[in-house]
């Protein structure tokens, strides 16, 4: 059906090849990205010990990557096949999915702004859970270390939150060599330091706050994250817009193509009816 015109000189309809192949290219690019995301997620998952991965399933970056990648793969697959085959059902599925995701993002943004305190508590809960499983998942460990170094923070609310981890717990009964310590990513690193002392956080939880602040970042990551969000609202707005534009483009192109296909089907039915009854 693609690109072929039918009908009288005054009444014709056709499927635009520009819209059709532009929508296909749009979906194909994101389909490849989704495939890469799923592959990385599966590879990272397989490289872990099964018991460690299951222990922190809800905060496992590999699982998050796989879930997002699979959803994106299915949606873009519908868009690719639907545009090439001019299949209204697949195109409508693609359009509805994108619309639902877009609405959910808007709702999440509004709820996060309105219920900022509850969102903060939820983030604190997630960080505390991540702290508990810090040594059990290398991806999670790297993610926490990266965040603490970038934001210059330690723990969720304060550096003593690391006592929630069984290795860093400050209880006298804890036999771990890291008892009362914090990860090296909490340490204040000199700018010209070449070799990182990974034991620099040893015994820091036993120090008074005024003493510990000389060696490590004592402020929690929650406050640092909130401050960063407040100071980078324009950047976050740009990222949100960058995520929204491809979705809106996909919705628009798919709806245009659906309307063109429907118009062409209606015109074909009209022509067939009049050919079968020429006296009308």
C-alpha distance from residue 20 to each of 138, 150, 250, 262, 264 (Å): 44, 44, 11, 14, 14
| Rounded Cα–Cα distance for residues 66 and 53 (Å) | 13
- Kindly provide the b/e burial profile for residues 224-253, where b requires at least 16 CB atoms within 10 angstroms of the residue's own CB: bbeeeeeeeeeeeeeeeeeeeeeeeebbeb
Q: How far apart are the first and last CA of the chain?
A: 27
| Rounded Cα–Cα distance for residues 31 and 37 (Å) | 10
Record the pTM: 0.68
Residue partners of 19: CB distance under 8 A and separation at least 6: 253, 256, 257, 260
Q: Determine contact, residues 264/10, Cβ cutoff 8 Å.
A: no
| Rounded Cα–Cα distance for residues 178 and 181 (Å) | 5
Tens digit of pLDDT per residue, the chain (280 long)? Answer: 444 444 443 344 567 888 889 999 999 999 999 999 889 888 877 776 544 444 444 556 677 888 889 999 999 999 999 998 889 999 999 999 999 999 998 888 888 777 777 878 888 888 888 899 898 878 788 889 999 999 999 999 999 999 999 999 999 899 999 999 999 999 998 777 666 777 888 999 999 888 999 999 999 999 888 888 888 888 888 888 888 898 999 999 999 999 999 888 888 887 777 776 555 5
Residue partners of 40: CB distance under 8 A and separation at least 6: 62, 65, 69
């Amino acid at each position: 059906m693609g690109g072929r015109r039918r009908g009288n000189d005054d009444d014709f309809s056709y499927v635009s090849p520009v819209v059709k192949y532009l929508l296909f290219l749009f979906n194909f690019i994101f389909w490849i990205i989704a495939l890469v995301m799923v592959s990385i997620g599966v590879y990272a998952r397989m490289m872990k010990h099964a018991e460690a991965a299951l222990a922190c399933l809800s905060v496992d970056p590999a699982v998050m990557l796989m879930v997002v990648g699979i959803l994106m793969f299915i949606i873009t697959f519908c868009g690719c096949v639907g545009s090439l085959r001019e299949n209204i059902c697949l195109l409508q599925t693609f359009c509805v999915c994108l619309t639902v995701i877009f609405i959910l993002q808007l709702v999440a943004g509004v709820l996060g702004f309105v219920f900022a305190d509850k969102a903060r508590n939820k983030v604190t809960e997630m960080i505390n859970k991540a702290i508990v499983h810090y040594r059990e998942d290398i991806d999670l460990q790297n993610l926490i270390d990266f965040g603490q170094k970038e934001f210059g923070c330690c723990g969720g609310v304060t550096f003593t939150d690391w006592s929630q981890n069984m290795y860093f717990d400050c209880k006298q009964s804890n036999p771990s060599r890291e008892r009362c310590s914090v990860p090296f990513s909490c340490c204040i690193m000199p700018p010209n330091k070449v070799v990182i002392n990974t034991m620099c956080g040893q015994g820091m939880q036993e120090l008074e706050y005024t003493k510990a602040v000389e060696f490590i970042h004592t402020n929690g990551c929650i406050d640092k994250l909130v401050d960063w969000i407040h100071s980078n609202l324009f950047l976050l707005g740009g990222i949100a817009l960058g995520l929204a534009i491809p979705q809106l483009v996909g919705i628009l192109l798919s709806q245009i193509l659906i309307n063109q296909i429907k118009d062409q089907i209606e015109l074909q039915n009209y022509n067939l009816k009049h050919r079968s009854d020429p006296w009308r």
